[in-house]
Amino acid sequence: MRSSPPRCLVHIFYGCGGGNNQRQLFLFAIIALVIFSIVALNYFCPENLCHQQGELSTIGKSSSAPLISSFLSYSPDYDVHYGSSSKSINEAEEVDQILDRYFSFNYDRYRKFRLTKTRQVSYNDMKTSPLENAFQIKGNDVMVFLHMQKTGGSAFDRHLVRDLILEQPCKCEPKRKKKCRCFRPETNNKYWLFSRYSIGWVCGLHADYTELINCVDRVLNQIEHIGNNPYSSAIVHPKALLRRNQLFSSYKILQSIPTPSKRRYFFITLLRDPIVRFISEFKHVQRGATWISSRHWCDGRLPTPHELPRCFRGQNWRNVTLSEFVSCPYNLAFNRQTRMLADLSLVGCYNRSIMTEKERDLMMLYSAKQNLRQMAYFGICEEQIASQKLYEHTFGLRFKRTFIQFNQTRSMEALRSLSSDMISQIRRLNHLDMALYSYAKQLFRERFGVMRNEDVDFDQNYQQLLNQANNRTKFVITKLPTTLKTNSTLLSSIVNDRQKLEYYRKNLIPSLSPEEEEDEMGEDQSMDAIYDDVTHVHDSVEDYYSNHIDIKDDTSRAKV
């Protein structure tokens, strides 16, 4: 009697056969099971979770890690508003979806379009092709300083125009500390530096990235070629051009101007801790200062009063309380660094009705990060010495004086007096700046690490720079008047006008710290409305020291 065939594992698929057939069918079933498991795993395990560990493992191991990996640095403030940091892996894809939904293009396409209008040289460009993309002060390269309020930019700008060791130093007017002309060697109308102290606010008061990217090339064409035009007998001052507001109105003059060679632009900027910067701006506004003349130009027009309402009535917001300052929903102090670094054309400028608030925040933060990474250089206000070293290494230039790091400012004193609830509220109101600053610190460390690897004598050179900075700091402190050390009345040696000194003693001294006295009691700014904010007050201690104290013992760097 024939026995029944044995049951086997593959019987449910093909039945059972002979020995060889059984082994083949069994092997086929195992392969099919593996394929099925892979398909099921991909279905039930999203890509952004399954590959998280692989993406994170590349961070911090190499400066050449993929761009998207740099967005994964942990930031509690980022998590609060956008979920866990792992979700930022798909940030670029989400940005492209938003752009496609509202404008029918993606970010990369838009970036390439921008580069065709203004040729920017990025940090990566300089590292990838150092000989080809090195900054050429004798060529057609222009350094553009994006000066964001209360980030230490005034002191840094002053270092650029006064302390760089150049073949042809900037020519500064002795009676007007904020007016210098930084021309290329052997020229008298070709600028290599585009900043407040070099050329003025020709693109608007504290022009942001959106304004600068659409302005610098056009303005330089107008300024530099006016001197070569046969209808002009002398170089016209940039301020005069602004006052007339009719650049090259004659068609004949336009025809006579040769087409300039294409310039290359090296954008630079400074960032500061968002909470300290916010308090600094609050104290600045509380003293009666504003940036009311800022244009906020975007996409060929100014914002309407409905799009950008004021937080105050009258000329200023003097004596505003911190509670009032944080209660105005239109306050531009909120997330100022993110807004000024982002390309606002991507979010409809100041029209908040185009997209949701979450979409707008995501777009602005992404754009600000991308633009920061594209910049040839950026510094951190809290890292003065490291920022100086990175600038010198990036551009192959040297400062004849070291920067000074003062850790105590009026803003930090005010910060200590705030409650934890108020600090938390300020943190929430500046959540984009918090995320941007966290990203900036990581990127700064990456660039600092690259610099260290490229300089075989880095440790020795950097230690020498630190020693010089410490010596200069001690020298500055010993030269401070006793009255300034105790924050009481000013010495008459600081201000020549006795009547003005008496006025400030009675009215302004209680609310001013040494770093703030410079602009209040310095030069007359009444004729400087087009170039500068007439009520601008610096919060950087270094601004005060670098102008009122002559550092004669720090000349060693100039001889190097």
Tell me the C-alpha distance between 123 and 436, whole Å. Answer: 18
What are residue 380's DSSP bridge partners? Answer: 271
> Residue 217: CB partners within 8 Å, gap ≥ 6?
117, 118, 263, 265
Angle at 386 between CA 380 and CA 387, to 5 degrees: 45
Could you tell me the CA-to-CA distances from 197 to 156, 160, 164, 502 in Å, in that order? 10, 9, 14, 30
Q: Which two tokens stand for residue 377?
A: 């250089």
- What helix, strand, coil percent values describe the chain, rounded to 5? 50, 5, 40
CA quadruple 148, 152, 158, 164: dihedral sign: negative
Bridge pairing between strands 377-380 and 264-271: parallel
- DSSP state, 298? B
User: Tokens 């916010």 — which residue?
Assistant: 278
CB 444 within 8 A of CB 383: yes
Active site residues: 206
What is the separation of C-alpha 144 from the centre of its chain, rounded to a whole number of angstroms? Answer: 11
What are residue 180's DSSP bridge partners? Answer: 172
Q: Residue 306: count other Cβ atoms within 10 Å of its Cβ.
A: 9
Angle at 159 between CA 215 and CA 404, to 5 degrees: 130
Q: Which two tokens stand for residue 523?
A: 């030069």
**DSSP letters of 362-390?**
HHHHHHHHHHHHHSSEEEETT-HHHHHHH
Tell me the C-alpha distance between 289 and 286, whole Å. Answer: 7
List strand residue ranges (DSSP E) for 75-207, in order: 141-146, 171-172, 180-181, 193-194
CB 226 within 8 A of CB 241: yes
